[in-house]
Chain A
Amino acid sequence: MSLIPPPGSIIAADWHRCADSKEYFSKILRKMRRKNFGLLESPVMPPHVAVDTVHYKIFISGKSGVGKTTLAARLAGLNIPNMHYETTGIETTVVYWPVKLRESGRVLFFRLQLWDCGENALRRFDHLLPSCKEQVDAVLFLFSFTDRMSFDDLSNQIAKWTGPSVGRVVKLVVGTKFDLFMHCDVAERDVRNFQETWSLPVLRTGGEVSDGLGDVAPILNCLAENLWHQDCVTAGSAGHHTQQETGTLF
């Protein structure tokens, strides 16, 4: 397992709040809301600002009802379903996210394609999981703060994605329904212990969707940072500086 970079070490954290990011973020917004891109579309920058787009495939894993579809919709700025319906096949959602690399100041568009598949469908149809695994770059392991079992099951889920057969895959853990603290079933201490055992980033989501990018930025930045780091490690060209820093931290 490659070490995870500390947050903000590779890409500019909270860049969406900086003035120089505005012209990039405006390309993924329309009328104050996130823009929905069809497969034939992508954010278009003026010709003199050349921005590369990097493509990644991310699989969302987690027990039925944990909030996989909702997370995908939230990250893409789509309408969040107000009723829970099982996803009866694979649904993918595309998120464009501009990112500034700290060291070089270079800006990239991350095209994150989130793959969401209902647990029951995975069980009923054998061909779905291999399809989700094909050329996957990252896995988001979801648990719900209101469902202890989904948290306890994380180790099993993660184990399935570890080992030589899987190859290099970025792993992040996301706790959903963090806002429902009245029904919270997973203590902060448990999350900390888990984080120490697995040394994986654990992020939180839940609550009302705000208009801004603030509630999705931490997850998307963390994902982008880890994906970029993995690519650098794979290419054997990870910045000397970055490697040292992660080395001393863990």
Chain B
Amino acid sequence: MMLQDGSLQLLCLTASSGVPLFTRGASKQLPFSVIGSLNGVHMFGGGQGVVLTCCETAGGGKVVWRVFQDSVMLIAVSGGRGGGGGGQGGAGSSSKEEEVRLQRLLENVWSCMVLVLGQDELANVRNVERLKRDLRSCFGLIDQLLEDRQEGILGNLTHCADSLLPPNPALLQEAVENFAQSADSEFGCLIVHGKIAAATEKWWRLAPQEVVLLSALMRSLSASGSASCDYPVFLPQGSPTVAHRLLRFQLLPGADVCVLCGPTPSLHRAESGLVCRFWSPLVETLRDCLAVGDRCLPGSVSLRPDVLALLLINRETRRSVSLVRTSTNHPLGDPPLPSKARCWELLKLFYIFSTTRYFSQEETLGLEERAQRGNTEDFVLGFSHQPLQCYLVTDECKSFGLQTPQHQLFLLIPLSVPTLALRTVATQTLSDITAATAF
């Protein structure tokens, strides 16, 4: 095994010559000879007309390769999940889940690099030393992706925007639209507790990855506590070679609004002229929105007590809401329920489990990637129709997945709930939320 259990390392090299550009992650760096071999074996495959994408080590570690723009190679090396994924159907399947996770990670890292530096600088490497220096600007976002410790944030995996449904959506929606317009922009977004509470119509027309990536950037800017920002950003899909300006304003601690705009207005002008004008009247509405907190759903939604955690995706808008209920003395807590952090982990694993094996993911995966994954159960391929529901019982909890043309719902349910009741819990939860919020 190359790395310790649970640790993760990211390597970045030039694709043509294998010059290391940077490494991030695990405190103990892989020796140079290992990095060289990892690059070498990929290059050897290339010479034989084979694209090496993934391999597993005897100790349960994983290596995933991907080359972007024929220019930059990213390699993710994980030391295995330390048996953590064993709960979801044994070691074999947990390694598939790990592979999906690492592939997603590489995509996201590349997007981060484009976001900060633009595609031109990455695709046409003229001066390696300069690129190395410039790449340092991406480390903040990349480390955030590698740590992946933010509870309640699943967008990096699902490529659906983590959202918070405010109690008073219409008012906030109008304010975001007007604010963006006054800043000469069609792209505006209000982020509360790191999740999108309202956004202009055009914001949702950005590529799903971009929406997720911008949310991640906003979260890291917001966490610093700064009052406002003017950040040049390239959009990996929409504008990879021309930078836009992301103006961000901290309205209240935990509530940030941003707009994507061109050369005007200046940060100073937007802040002194527009922020108070549009948002001062809404301070109380924003505070109500902040009070929703981790729950992500307004008080008008009452959930069944037997829902431990949920992830609900709107397939059309590419948005999601997710929550884990904090209940140490849950009435159904016998046998003991998994911890909050474990629930988030299980929710992610069950999402990968369901989407790779049963549920379609056309929205998020490119053709190439779908072919690469090839995890779908054979019996699914044999049918012309799509599975609509799936469930999984492990020694930690029960999980149920449900798919409709508009939604995907993933639920964790305590072991004490009879398996035959899972479907009822799921369908009722879906209608509880959609009826009350029009999500």
Interface-located stretch among B173-181, B223-231, B291-299: B223-231
Tell me if B143 and A79 are in contact (CB < 8 A).
no
Chain A residues with CB below 8 A from B139, complex form: 85-86
Docked pose: A92 CA to B271 CA in angstroms: 11
Cβ 8 A contact of B266, one of A41, A120, A134: A134
Beyond A38-B250, A40-B276, whether A131 also contacts B268 by CB under 8 A is yes
Within 8 A of A (CB), among B189-243: 221, 224-232, 243
Chain A residues with CB below 8 A from B228, complex form: 39, 91-92
Tell me if B224 and A91 are in contact (CB < 8 A).
yes
Instruction: Say yes or no for B134: interface residue by CB 8 A criterion.
Output: yes
Chain A residues with CB below 8 A from B143, complex form: 83, 85
Chain A residues with CB below 8 A from B263, complex form: 127
Q: Mark A122-151, 1 if CB is under 8 A from B, else 0.
A: 001101100100110000000000000000
Instruction: Say yes or no for B280: interface residue by CB 8 A criterion.
Output: yes
Docked pose: A72 CA to B224 CA in angstroms: 10
Tell me if A113 and B224 are in contact (CB < 8 A).
no
Tell me if B137 and A88 are in contact (CB < 8 A).
yes
Docked pose: A167 CA to B264 CA in angstroms: 23
Chain B residues with CB below 8 A from A120, complex form: 133-134, 136-137
Chain A residues with CB below 8 A from B224, complex form: 69, 73, 78-79, 81, 91
Beyond A38-B253, A57-B268, whether A92 also contacts B225 by CB under 8 A is no
CB-CB nearest in chain A for B269: A134
CB-CB nearest in chain A for B121: A124
Instruction: Say yes or no for B65: interface residue by CB 8 A criterion.
Output: no
Tell me if B232 and A135 are in contact (CB < 8 A).
no
Chain B residues with CB below 8 A from A69, complex form: 224
CB-CB nearest in chain B for A57: B268
Interface size class of B (residues with CB under 8 A): 35 or more
Instruction: Say yes or no for A6: interface residue by CB 8 A criterion.
Output: no
- Report the minimal beta-carbon distance from A75 to chain B, rounded to whole angstroms: 12
Instruction: Say yes or no for B301: interface residue by CB 8 A criterion.
Output: no
Docked pose: A78 CA to B253 CA in angstroms: 12
- Report the minimal beta-carbon distance from A202 to chain B, rounded to whole angstroms: 26
CB-CB nearest in chain A for B133: A120
Instruction: Say yes or no for B38: interface residue by CB 8 A criterion.
Output: no
Within 8 A of B (CB), among A28-45: 36-41
Tell me if B230 and A128 are in contact (CB < 8 A).
yes
Which of A40, A76, A113, A127 has most chain B Cβ within 10 Å?
A40
Chain B residues with CB below 8 A from A135, complex form: 268
Instruction: Say yes or no for B417: interface residue by CB 8 A criterion.
Output: no
Docked pose: A37 CA to B255 CA in angstroms: 11
Tell me if A89 and B251 are in contact (CB < 8 A).
no
- Report the minimal beta-carbon distance from B424 to chain A, rounded to whole angstroms: 44
Instruction: Say yes or no for A209: interface residue by CB 8 A criterion.
Output: no
- Report the minimal beta-carbon distance from B139 to chain A, rounded to whole angstroms: 6
Instruction: Say yes or no for A173: interface residue by CB 8 A criterion.
Output: no
Instruction: Say yes or no for B252: interface residue by CB 8 A criterion.
Output: yes
Tell me if A89 and B136 are in contact (CB < 8 A).
no
Tell me if B283 and A36 are in contact (CB < 8 A).
no
Instruction: Say yes or no for A186: interface residue by CB 8 A criterion.
Output: no
Tell me how many residues of A have a C-beta within 8 Å of chain B.
Answer: 36
Instruction: Say yes or no for B116: interface residue by CB 8 A criterion.
Output: yes
Instruction: Say yes or no for B249: interface residue by CB 8 A criterion.
Output: yes
CB-CB nearest in chain A for B139: A85
CB-CB nearest in chain A for B256: A38
Docked pose: A69 CA to B224 CA in angstroms: 10
Within 8 A of B (CB), among A69-100: 69, 72-73, 76, 78-79, 81, 83, 85-86, 88-94
Tell me if B232 and A85 are in contact (CB < 8 A).
no
Instruction: Say yes or no for A201: interface residue by CB 8 A criterion.
Output: no
- Report the minimal beta-carbon distance from B218 to chain A, rounded to whole angstroms: 12
- Report the minimal beta-carbon distance from B422 to chain A, rounded to whole angstroms: 43
Cβ 8 A contact of A39, one of B136, B245, B271: B271
Within 8 A of A (CB), among B396-424: none
Docked pose: A48 CA to B286 CA in angstroms: 28
Chain A residues with CB below 8 A from B251, complex form: 38-40
CB-CB nearest in chain B for A131: B266
Within 8 A of A (CB), among B101-141: 116, 133-134, 136-137, 139-140
Instruction: Say yes or no for A217: interface residue by CB 8 A criterion.
Output: no
Instruction: Say yes or no for B91: interface residue by CB 8 A criterion.
Output: no
CB-CB nearest in chain A for B255: A38
Tell me if A88 and B116 are in contact (CB < 8 A).
yes
Tell me if B255 and A89 are in contact (CB < 8 A).
no
Chain B residues with CB below 8 A from A37, complex form: 227, 253
Instruction: Say yes or no for A175: interface residue by CB 8 A criterion.
Output: no
Tell me if A118 and B250 are in contact (CB < 8 A).
no
Tell me if A79 and B225 are in contact (CB < 8 A).
yes
| A binding-site residues for B, Cβ under 8 Å | 36-41, 57, 69, 72-73, 76, 78-79, 81, 83, 85-86, 88-94, 113, 116, 118, 120-121, 124-125, 127-128, 131, 134-135
| B binding-site residues for A, Cβ under 8 Å | 116, 133-134, 136-137, 139-140, 143, 221, 224-232, 243, 245-246, 249-253, 255, 263, 266-268, 271, 275-276, 279-280, 283, 286
A-B contact pairs, 22 of them (CB 8 A): A37-B227, A38-B252, A38-B255, A39-B227, A39-B249, A40-B276, A73-B225, A76-B225, A78-B226, A79-B224, A85-B136, A86-B139, A88-B116, A90-B267, A92-B226, A92-B271, A93-B225, A93-B227, A120-B133, A121-B232, A127-B263, A134-B268
